[in-house]
Amino acid sequence: MEIQIISKEIIKPSASTPHHVKTYKLSGKDQIADLAYFPIILFYSPTNEISSKNSDHLKKSFSKTLTLFYPFAGRIKDHSSIDCSDEGACYIEAHVTGNMSVIVQQPDIHQLEQLMPCKLEENLLELSTRVMLAVQVNYFDCGGIAVSIFISHRVADGSSLASFVKRWSAISCGGDLNIVDGVVIDCTSLFPPQDFSVIKLHENFRNDNSSTKTVTKRFVLDGPKVAVLREKLSNGPYLDRPTRVEAVSALMWGAFVGEESESKKVNKVAMHVVDLRKRLDPPLPQHCIGNIVHTTVANWPEKVVDFNGLAGKIHESISMINNDFVRKVSADGTDQGLLSEIAKDPNNWSLFCFSSWCKFPFYETDFGWGKPTWVGAAMKFMPRGAFFLDTRDGEGVEAWVTLSEEAMVKFEKNPDILAYASSSPSI
């Protein structure tokens, strides 16, 4: 697969950002988010609607969307704010030699990285001072298109990215360009800015065991397998019936913990990133941007793996995240709680991290040539962790798992993983 860059430019919002909102305040949640970028890639099969004329149309709709999500066209000003100066976002077009089917037959993270504006492992600190958002539109010889979007974690979470993509596609299809109420909200009253000395928290997790080479692989649990798994983990002493994400998380955490049964690390912890928008009272609009999330911590003290127990611990840790809890920990400065303790000496803890974009409407993204045939993220999520997306039918779970090379070999051979998940199946 050869990729030739056709054009690379900075696209500005179609209308100037009003002077009174030129500064976007970063909340405490935004401040502790690391400076990394995270991606989504949308693959579209060849159709009669796809043609070269869509190039200018897509750029124009992109520019109009930036008007609504104006912090994405800004630049980091300091530790507490974004300068919404309308400097623009990076927009790249590329020609890809070959057929798109070669990639989706067995998606590989290294191939997918070539379709992105930047590679995941590159040092993006310099880029982060220049752009908040970068897009690469890849045109294949076969007529297919892959649209990859990179966004800075400092200004957005997964829901923010989903909102931007949804609005961009709607405008591309002729949707109204009315300002969406509640896209940009000052969340500093909810999550007060923090002392910059604690901002390295997530970087500590990423740098844990940095000398150990990690690999990222894709595992797919289709709808029927997930249904069987949920049934197996139901009606136990810890939990009646887990959700789809709880069940798959328990399966993967259990496989990891089982292989570490002889480890001296007594603290076996699973962390989940939880969207707070609907958990606050009053709730925030789902389409508002920023890092409006909380990281839960579930601890398994036993040596023997009990999947119903693991699912129960995960369920318990997520269920406690309600309006009263969030406002209390934000107000008294204990927002990061156990996370800060773990970050001081991560080698003392057996951590497995989860983040889920399940139920985000990426498969509904239609720029005018139909919905995606596949949505990939190729996410390297922490040194040990799993990142979840829906399968196309919305019933299964696609997991991008990152582990050390040694741990991955054991994980792939784990009988419970083999029973429910397929490794890198074709789309």
Exposure string for 366-400, b = 16+ CB within 10 A, e = fewer: bbebebbbbbbbbbbbbbbbbbbbbbeeeebbbbb
Cα 36 to Cα 379: distance, rounded to the nearest angstrom: 11
Return the CATH number of 2-172, one of 3.30.559.10, 2.60.40.770, 3.40.605.10, 3.40.50.460. Answer: 3.30.559.10
Catalytic residue among 153, 202, 272, 287: 153
CA dist 303 → 36, 130, 180, 260, 411 (Å):
35, 48, 51, 9, 18
Phi, psi angles (nearest 5°) of residue 300: -110, 105
Q: State the pLDDT at residue 226.
A: 98
Residue 106: predicted pLDDT: 82
Q: Which residue is it, tokens 């209308």?
A: 15
What are the φ/ψ torsions at residue 156 (nearest 5 degrees)? -155, 150
pLDDT, position 125? 44
Per annotation, catalytic residue among 83, 108, 366, 416: 366
Q: What does the alpha-carbon distance between residue 158 and residue 288 come to, in Å, rounded to a whole number? A: 11
User: Each residue of 326-344: b (16+ CB within 10 Å) or e?
Assistant: beebbeeeebbebbeebbe
Pairing of strands 37-44, 374-376: antiparallel
What number of other Cβ atoms are within 10 A of residue 26's Cβ? 26
Q: What is the pLDDT along the chain (427 residues), one digit of tens a residue?
A: 899 999 999 999 999 999 999 999 999 899 888 778 889 999 999 876 665 557 888 999 999 999 999 999 999 998 899 999 999 999 999 999 989 998 888 888 888 988 998 765 554 445 445 789 999 999 999 999 999 999 999 999 999 999 999 999 999 998 877 767 789 999 998 998 876 555 555 555 555 555 578 899 999 999 999 999 999 999 889 999 999 999 999 999 999 987 765 555 567 899 999 999 999 999 999 999 999 999 999 999 888 889 999 999 999 999 999 999 988 887 766 666 666 677 677 677 788 999 999 999 999 999 998 999 999 987 777 778 999 999 999 999 999 999 999 999 999 999 999 999 998 888 8
Maximal C-alpha separation, the chain = 61
In contact, 307 and 250? CB cutoff 8 Å: yes
Q: Does residue 108 have an active-site annotation?
A: no
Please give the single-letter amino acid code of residue 288. C
Within 13 A of 180's CA, how many CA atoms are on the CB side?
26
CA–CA gap between residue 401 and residue 413 (Å, rounded): 14
| Alpha carbon 230 to its chain's center | 24
37-44/89-97 β-pairing: unpaired
| 153: annotated active-site residue | yes
CB atoms within 10 A of CB 129: 10
What residues does CATH 3.30.559.10 cover in the chain? 2-172, 196-359+380-423
Beta bridge partners of 136: 92, 148
The whole-model pTM stands at 0.92
Q: How big, in percent rounded to 5, are the helix, strand and coil portions of the chain?
A: 35, 25, 40
Tokens of 150: 């990179």
CATH superfamily of 196-359+380-423: Chloramphenicol acetyltransferase-like domain (3.30.559.10)
The residues with which 361 forms a beta bridge, in sequence order, are: none
The C-alpha atoms of residue 289 and residue 287 are separated, in whole angstroms, by: 6
Assign 392 to helix, strand or coil.
coil
The 3-state secondary structure of 335-388 reads CCHHHHHHHHCHHHEEEEEEEECCCCCHHHCCCCCCCCCEEECCCCCCCCEEEE
Angle between helices 158-172 and 54-68 (to 10 degrees): 130
Instruction: Give the whole-angstrom CA distance, residue 84 versus residue 19.
Output: 9
User: H-helix or E-strand containing 216?
Assistant: strand 214-221
